Structure 1
Amino acid sequence: MTPYSYPRSPPVHRSPTAEAEVADELAVVRPGLVPRYEAELPGARAAVLSRLWRGLAHDPLPWVVRGERSGDGLTLRLSDGRRLHGPRPDPYATGAYVCVVRLDEAEYDDPARLVTDLAVPHSASFAAELGHSVASLALSRAAQEGRGPDAWPESDWAWEQRIVDGHPFHPTCRSRPGFSVAEQLAYGPEHRPVVELGLVPVRAEECLVTGVWPRELRDGERVVLPVHPWQAAHVLKRGCEEWRAAHPLMSLRTLALPGGPHVKTSLSARLTSSVRDISLPSVAASAMLSGFAETPAARTDGLLHITRTLGAAAAGSPDFAAVLRESPQTYATGGERVLPVAALATTGLPRSPGWLARFARLALGVGLRLLELGVALEAHGQNLLVILSPAGDPLRLVYRDLADIRVSPARLARHGITVPDLPARMVTDDERALRRKLFGSLVAGALAGTAGSGAALAEALETALRDLPDTPDLAALRADPLPTKALTLMRLSPRTAGDQWAELPNPLV
């Protein structure tokens, strides 16, 4: 028996599925939504199965021996002799384009059951996440019934709440373990709730504070931290004084205060790949990092704004911290709109090849310029925002959340920029690591998700790259396989720390 060969006897009993559990809870808290939820389940399964098939086909999974293409299909040979067969995947396609995958002679339209029956290491926990992803996605879609396409929103949170399906390529795009149905409806941005943030006071000597912590959040000798109500109930396990009503953004744990800043809270639940706490080193470095980022941004001829971190505080734990950040709306004037790149698909604009090429040129021009200077942005569809003119033309970019950028001291030194004392994980001169960070997030992530297919992405890139300065980074983007996070491999490797990577066929080759 090979290291990845496992007994394949059929399971005698299956526990209730996440789909059934959500239906049962929904029948109690929102019974009128049950028929719509059940109608959305087939489409949600196909959407998650499409994301999973992309990962199975392209991630370097140790139990996949090789892939064999024939016609419009792809067969994956597994190390134990089994075969997985499905359509030839377009790694840059979004939506639900895979309805069935075959494992030997058995057909699967349910991604959770497919992974369960694959029976590879850690497949049981991953299958549970996939089941939650399907059920939560169906719930998210069901709640949109009767909501026609809104006019372009005026508020920043309304743009973010239009994003219903979550991450366009992650198979656990809507997995929210630890959230009941009532809590998803109460806190999920796609359900458009208003969330009452709480306040918890902490003695100042027990609290790390950087930047300017507002007077409103101080009480004599105590620092007062905003807390998400889910975190207060499930992690801190304490009541808290209600503070202000806020609107959840697409990250769920970051909320917009009307007329005020965005509040990033700790949320110790696994959403897609990560538990969303706030590390103490990131709190300590937040003010310094925010000030540092203004220098390279100033060298983009006004095409990039970085949202400033106003203040950050942590009460001795990543589970109890908060960051106050400037709203991207700060940088819009005269009828301009600011929206996360992930929301572009809701505008209809990307359907124009000319528009997509102009946007790609703006994003790549800025991203490659910062990379040349020595800063690799994690410019995925959540962190990267675009400022549109009243007519919908892409004008400038806004970047938020600097916690996962990478900084090259050698490159910065060549341009006369001093590196501050940043957390060690942010600092590297490894060109491969720097390019992975930018290309994986911007090209394989934000631009691919906006384009919606490999053909549309290739056309936009061909036009966008023609007039950009010729640099080694641009040459690598043109010729090398395109890096992307191996999202399926990462969920099947829970004991491996950090990002793992896959290589996608370069759409320009």
Structure 2
Amino acid sequence: MHRSPTAEAEVAQELAEVRPDLVSRYTAELPGARAAVLTRLWRALAFEPLPWITGRVPGGEGLTLRLRGGRRLDGPAADPYATAAYVTAVRLDGTAYDDPARLMTGLGVPHGDGLAAELGHSVASLALSRAGQPANPSKEWPLTEWPVADWEWEQRVVDGHPFHPNCRSRPGFSVAEQLAYGPEHRPLVGLRSVPVPADECLVSGVWPDGMRDGGRLLIPVHPWQAAHVLKRAGEEGPGAHPLMSLRTLALTGEGPHVKTALSTRLTSSVRDISVYSIGLSATLSSFAESLAARTDGLLHFTRTLGAATAGSPDLAAVVRESPQQYAGSGERVVPVAALAGTELPTRAAWLADFTRLALTVGLRLLDLGVALEAHGQNLLVVLSETGAPLRLVYRDLADIRVSPARLARHGVPVPELSGRVVTDDETALRRKLFGALVAGTLAGTAGSGAALGAALETVVRDLPRTPDLVALSGTPVPAKALTLMRLSPGTPGDQWAELPNPLP
């Protein structure tokens, strides 16, 4: 087997200095982390439109990829919707590789060396994340102890994105910083506050009084951002619990959630906050409230309380209410991604109920003219005491898509929006919803193509047969080509793959 010890060894060395008690567990978690990342990479190789793959030949229980130049890559049959780490090795021209970073280097494709480095860090960081977990976390439903605070649910997500090979890549973060700021390590983070004169800021909505100092706004800043990007400490800010997105945190004392700028690449994107998104945030929040009224109580949107920027994507923040505001007595609001590793009650029936709820809401809004990016981080589900899915909560409106033509067709007032969120392109609208909801959230919760197909088959026949449902039922399912995007640094925007439709 080929090994790429660099990132793994670097993390082990740093870990020995800051948390020597975790070194043995970290080492034990490395093989599983390699398999988890390799499984995600194999999915990409099997289904994404990578220009150097000239053919895909299934056979028996395996799959052979024909590569440009006459090379071949052999591995197991690929399930684009599987979340278990089922790929432990593949063979490139007869040589076995169990390390995704070494495999990417061996492929010798354009921009592959950069991605190989990211994959190496993804493996090492994933092993670190797993090493810090309780020995035997409860996964059976109902959970032995319900998490009380919303952030506790968020911190149950250990492995990151279920389908992205860069699921745990955190460039620029030392081991000490990962332990101090990674939600899966359950730290309390001391935010920094950078005072900026109010007349030098763009403010959308109402900036909280508690984040003002006379004529200055106190913009919350992630401590990593303060140290590495802004290069200034700022003032001591509030304590907060990091959520699964890392740069969004729940203020202590059941406070609101704060989305901070984090100018580094996590998975695919640099997580700063554009001036554009700050300017639209209040309009989008008000518009979302009007949309919720059209869902018969099945969907809530978390309100944006205030957003501010000092004219730079590196110094900006969004304050929004906690999704827990929408939980009734005995209910819990849970990010869907946090349910992926939980043994849900009567799993097939639960999955069908959740699929029905999610598609009913998502398709209704899409027909009206709004495509949600309803992946497992943005989409939350309100659960009853017995675990039944009751309603949905959606947060972070920055990447939705709005169709003025569809809104007008339904007599819905068109908000004053501009830029990337506005489109009447049906393909773009459907990709936004189906790529996130079906190929992301529902697939990640189902765990396999067979389980996803069974849930969709149960539900789809009962839904209103809109043109969007017809498109979902009869065509390949769109999914972001996440690896292609990382290998195409000169191509802006999203690129897409087409996955086999899981419906029987």
Please, which of 201, 223, 230 is the counterpart of residue 229 of structure 1? 223
2:64 equivalent in structure 1: 75
Please, which of 462, 479, 485 is the counterpart of residue 484 of structure 1? 479
2:197 equivalent in structure 1: 203
2:460 equivalent in structure 1: 465
Offset from partner CA, 1:372-431 (integer Å, 9 cap, x none): 000000000000000000110000000000000001111100111122222321111111
1:434 equivalent in structure 2: 429
Amino acid of the structure 2 residue aligned with 1:466? R
Asked if 2 retains the 8 angstrom alpha-carbon contact of 1:297 and 1:370, the reply is no
SS at match of 1:348: coil
1:87 equivalent in structure 2: 76
SS at match of 1:316: strand
Asked if 2 retains the 8 angstrom alpha-carbon contact of 1:332 and 1:387, the reply is yes
Offset from partner CA, 1:99-130 (integer Å, 9 cap, x none): 01111011100000000111100000000000
Q: How does 1:283-302 map to 2 (within 5 A)?
A: 283-302=278-297
Q: Please give the alpha-carbon distance, in whole angstroms, between the structure 2 residues aligned to 1:22 and 1:206.
A: 41
Offset from partner CA, 1:486-509 (integer Å, 9 cap, x none): 011011111111100000000014
Q: Please give the alpha-carbon distance, in whole angstroms, between the structure 1 residues aligned to 2:52 and 2:345.
A: 38
Please, which of 230, 240, 245 is the counterpart of residue 239 of structure 2? 245
Q: How does 1:131-210 map to 2 (within 5 A)?
A: 131-146=120-135, 148-149=137-138, 151-210=145-204
SS at match of 1:234: helix
Question: 1:405 and 2:400 equivalent?
Answer: yes
Q: How far did 1:239 drift?
A: 1.1
Q: Please give the alpha-carbon distance, in whole angstroms, between the structure 1 residues aligned to 2:292 and 2:91.
A: 49
1:449 equivalent in structure 2: 444
How many aligned residue pairs are there? Answer: 497
Deviation larger for 197-206 or 330-339 = 197-206
Q: How far did 1:347 drift?
A: 3.1
Question: 1:102 and 2:102 equivalent?
Answer: no
Amino acid of the structure 1 residue aligned with 2:307? A
Asked if 2 retains the 8 angstrom alpha-carbon contact of 1:350 and 1:356, the reply is no
Q: Please give the alpha-carbon distance, in whole angstroms, between the structure 2 residues aligned to 1:245 and 1:72.
A: 51
1:501 equivalent in structure 2: 496
Question: 1:386 and 2:401 equivalent?
Answer: no
1:56 equivalent in structure 2: 45
Amino acid of the structure 2 residue aligned with 1:221? G
Please, which of 261, 270, 273 is the counterpart of residue 278 of structure 1? 273
Deviation larger for 247-256 or 143-152 = 143-152
SS at match of 1:417: coil
Offset from partner CA, 1:20-59 (integer Å, 9 cap, x none): 0000000000011001000000000000000000001100
Offset from partner CA, 1:450-494 (integer Å, 9 cap, x none): 000000000011111121111111111110000000011011111
2:141 equivalent in structure 1: none
Amino acid of the structure 1 residue aligned with 2:326? Y
Q: Please give the alpha-carbon distance, in whole angstroms, between the structure 1 residues aligned to 2:150 and 2:5.
A: 39
Amino acid of the structure 1 residue aligned with 2:188? V
Asked if 2 retains the 8 angstrom alpha-carbon contact of 1:22 and 1:135, the reply is yes
Q: Please give the alpha-carbon distance, in whole angstroms, between the structure 2 residues aligned to 1:351 and 1:97.
A: 24
Deviation larger for 458-467 or 56-65 = 458-467
- Rate the CA distance shift 1:200–1:434 in 2: closer, same or farther, 3 A: same
Q: How far did 1:345 drift?
A: 2.1
Asked if 2 retains the 8 angstrom alpha-carbon contact of 1:350 and 1:451, the reply is no
Asked if 1 retains the 8 angstrom alpha-carbon contact of 2:4 and 2:99, the reply is no
Asked if 2 retains the 8 angstrom alpha-carbon contact of 1:296 and 1:373, the reply is no
- Rate the CA distance shift 1:377–1:268 in 2: closer, same or farther, 3 A: same
Question: 1:308 and 2:303 equivalent?
Answer: yes
Amino acid of the structure 1 residue aligned with 2:135? G
1:3 equivalent in structure 2: none
Question: 1:25 and 2:14 equivalent?
Answer: yes
Question: 1:321 and 2:316 equivalent?
Answer: yes
- Rate the CA distance shift 1:16–1:458 in 2: closer, same or farther, 3 A: closer
1:6 equivalent in structure 2: none
Q: How far did 1:145 drift?
A: 3.9
Q: List alignment gaps of at least 5 residues for structure 2.
A: 139-143
Q: Please give the alpha-carbon distance, in whole angstroms, between the structure 2 residues aligned to 1:21 and 1:405.
A: 39
Percent identical residues: 75
1:36 equivalent in structure 2: 25
Deviation larger for 395-404 or 217-226 = 217-226
TM-score of the two chains, using structure 1 as the length reference: 0.96
Question: 1:372 and 2:367 equivalent?
Answer: yes
Amino acid of the structure 1 residue aligned with 2:494? D
